[in-house]
Structure 1
Amino acid sequence: MTASTPSPPRCSVQEVRERVGALPDPELPVIGLGDLGVVGSVGPGADGVLEVEILPTYLGCPALPEITAAVRDVLAACGHPDGRVRQVLSPPWTTDRITPEGRRRLAAHGIAPPVSPVPDGPVPVELGGVPCPHCGSRATRPHSTFGPSRCQSVLWCTACREPFPHLTAL
């Protein structure tokens, strides 16, 4: 008779959400999936099997297979080997979903996060470009529409003369 490998104890839905949220984004490893805002609902499906919804940052994101595999690994490690990962397109992911901590982490690593929208009220008019993560100047301009990943462009700061990646608002 062969000995079966004991399965790990089942983690709570909240613990699964926290572990999935802490996974680094493959294209932006300085930020977790939770702070990037790509983790949707986490909970049992209609059949009782735990499901994790992932909101792709854009259609055709090349990191989706890697993200899906990492989430499946978390589900298995948390005692949910039958858990499912679903990619959902509605509601669509937008840069508004990036948490304040995620924006701070991006800026700390030289990536200009998209400007946060004002929830309600008048629309502020900003003179200048995206703030430079190196010196804070708004004297920035586009340098290249193609950046280190598909969801980034490269901007140029005319004040400190440094290029920097900018997470493109979608």
Structure 2
Amino acid sequence: MTDDPARRAWQALEEVHDPEIPHVSIVDLGIVRGVTAAADGSRVEAALSPTYSGCPAVSVIELDAETALRAAGFAEVVIRRQMAPAWTTDWITERGRERLKAAGIAPPDAAGAGKAALLGRPAQVACPQCGSPHTEQLSEFGSTACKALWRCRDCLEPFDYFKCI
């Protein structure tokens, strides 16, 4: 652990994982929008943005973040839900994208690609198993609301695709 309270808070939050995507921390998903810690380390406030306004995991994530911060030595912990600006897949770190892929989940397209999908142009999604670009969407709905179900036409494996927002 570090003596810097803000850095200690960030380190603690890097250990908190999304319960629906346990391979990726809430920091790497871009859910943690900011941390403010008292210089003496007694108090910390963390701003979290849910990936979706109706995400069923929001309360669990907030409780897990509070628990991790208390375990890191903060006596007073404030978790603030920050709805604006709305979370976007552009906030997922490169490490988060790599961890999604390693878990068999195709990471979202690069910035702006979601706009193309909203305009009716299909996304080009590479298979996270074999890397093939020959994939097809089976359903707009995957294992969670933030993912769609796809299948690779080459290796025939189904996989989740993290939707762009």
What range describes the TM-score normalised by the shorter chain of this pair?
A: 0.7 to 0.9
| Structure 1 gaps, min length 5 | 1-9, 119-125
Which ranges of 4 or more aligned residues in structure 1 deviate by more than 4 Å?
A: none
1:3-31 per-residue CA deviation (whole Å, 9 max, x = no partner) reads xxxxxxx8711111121122111100011
Distance (whole Å) between structure 1 residues aligned to residue 60 and residue 12 of structure 2: 16
Distance (whole Å) between structure 2 residues aligned to residue 152 and residue 38 of structure 1: 16
Q: Does 1:23 align with 2:16?
A: yes
Question: Which structure has greater strand proportion?
Answer: 2
**One-letter amino acid of the structure 2 residue matched with residue 79 of structure 1:** G
Does structure 2 conserve the Cα–Cα contact (< 8 Å) formed by 1:25 and 1:31? yes
Residue 137 of structure 2 corresponds to 142
Distance (whole Å) between structure 2 residues aligned to residue 128 and residue 92 of structure 1: 22
Residue 107 of structure 1 corresponds to 101
Q: 2:65 aligns with which of 56, 63, 71?
A: 71
Q: Residue 22 of structure 2: SS of its match in structure 1?
A: coil
Q: What's the offset of the Cα at 1:144?
A: 1.1
Does structure 2 conserve the Cα–Cα contact (< 8 Å) formed by 1:21 and 1:39? no
Computing the radius of gyration from Cα coordinates, the structure with the larger value is 1
**One-letter amino acid of the structure 2 residue matched with residue 149 of structure 1:** T
TM (norm. structure 1) is: 0.82
Residue 41 of structure 1 corresponds to 34
Q: Does 1:83 align with 2:77?
A: yes
Does structure 2 conserve the Cα–Cα contact (< 8 Å) formed by 1:128 and 1:138? no
TM (norm. structure 2) is: 0.84
